[in-house]
Amino acid sequence: MQGGSKLQVKRTLGKAFSYGLIALAVIVVLLPLYWTFSTSLKGSKAILHIPPELFPRQLTFSNYVDIFEIIPFGALLLNSVVVTGLTTVISLVLGSLAAYGLSRYKFPGSGSIFGLVLGTRMIPPVAYVIPLYLLISNLMLLDTWWGLILAHTSITLPFTIWIMKGFFDELPRDFEEAAMVDGCSRLGALRVALRLALPGLFVALIFVFVESWNEFMFAVTITRSSASKTVLVGLVGLLQYPYRQPWGELTAGLLIYTLPIFFIAYFFEKYIAKIYVLGVLK
């Protein structure tokens, strides 16, 4: 009896300890985010108060309005949406077509082509950003949506091909063959396969969206004016704002921009694990 209760105490203590550690991790993750959020709700005087107010005394939403005035936030948001949207469409369309071709038809060199695509996925963007800048400049696409979209596809297209090929490879061919027996054309068979691979398309969609939405190095290289600048480039530019660093407006803009990411983290947590973790293990 005695030994049993001792073991129980030990177990309870162990449990409390591990929950304590998890709670600590949650706090560490949330602290900088809390600071960002609380700053976005402070007036400019409260932000520059020394010592800093850990809990804002007066709440204001003015930063969420002012961010649209100190930079053309609406225009930048449009740029981000257009660039991410078109990058996503182009990557998914071209990527799944290529994946289908590489998965279903073995033609001379198809293996090495796929190897090349796989290799591209691992190459860091900084290894080709300089020649890519020269190329975009020669194409007269600096400071345009299309210049940045081209750059983004260099990251997102290899991933889409790779993940979609994985999905097509696992798809039994029976359905497509049945469709073709029923008189469908080869492209009809492709349509059947695409419908069956919808979960794969969805995974690719989330990944491509997050990559393009979050991308900064190409954006800061290629975009200049509010004609093409993305939100992140505009917000980083605020650090050079004359006379003060407008942290209230900056944090407000940052939180607006990150809303879709919060949404994805909350609703598609399981997909995230699949994309970033199992993807690597395959």
Partner 1 sequence: MKKRKNIPSKALGFLLALPALLLLALVCFFPIAQNVELSLHSWHLAVGAPKNFVGLANFEHLISSSVFHKVLQNTVIFTAVSVPLELGGGLGLAILLNRKFKGKEAILAILSLPMLVAPVAVGLVWKWFYALDYGMLNPLLGIFSIGEVNWLGDPSIALFSVIVADAWTMTAFMMLFCYAGLQMIPPERYETASIDGASGWQKLRYVTLPSIKGILIIGLMIRSIDAFTRLFDLIYVLTGGGPAWSTEVLPIYTYRTGLKFFRIGMGSTLAIFALLITIVLISALWKITRR
Touching partner 1, residues 137-176 (CB under 8 A): 150-151, 153-154, 157-158, 161, 173
Residue in 12, 52, 169, 202 binding partner 1, rule: CB under 8 A: 52
Residue in 71, 76, 79, 100 binding partner 1, rule: CB under 8 A: 100
Closest separation in Å from C-beta 226 to partner 1: 18
Q: Is 213 in the site for partner 1 (CB under 8 A)?
A: yes
Closest separation in Å from C-beta 35 to partner 1: 4
Q: Is 44 in the site for partner 1 (CB under 8 A)?
A: no
Report the alpha-carbon distance of residue 238 to residue 3 in Å, rounded: 64
Closest separation in Å from C-beta 186 to partner 1: 4
Residue in 168, 235, 246, 252 binding partner 1, rule: CB under 8 A: 235
Closest separation in Å from C-beta 136 to partner 1: 9
Q: Is 16 in the site for partner 1 (CB under 8 A)?
A: no
Residue in 180, 196, 205, 256 binding partner 1, rule: CB under 8 A: 180
Q: How many residues bind partner 1 (CB under 8 A)?
A: 99
Residue in 62, 75, 85, 133 binding partner 1, rule: CB under 8 A: 133
Report the alpha-carbon distance of residue 78 to residue 49 in Å, rounded: 34
Q: Is 6 in the site for partner 1 (CB under 8 A)?
A: no
Residue 213: left (phi > 0), alpha (psi -120 to 50), or beta? alpha
Q: Is 122 in the site for partner 1 (CB under 8 A)?
A: yes
Binding-site string for partner 1 from residue 240 to residue 259, where x marks contact by CB under 8 A and - marks none: -------x--xx--x--xx-
Closest separation in Å from C-beta 248 to partner 1: 10
Closest separation in Å from C-beta 157 to partner 1: 6
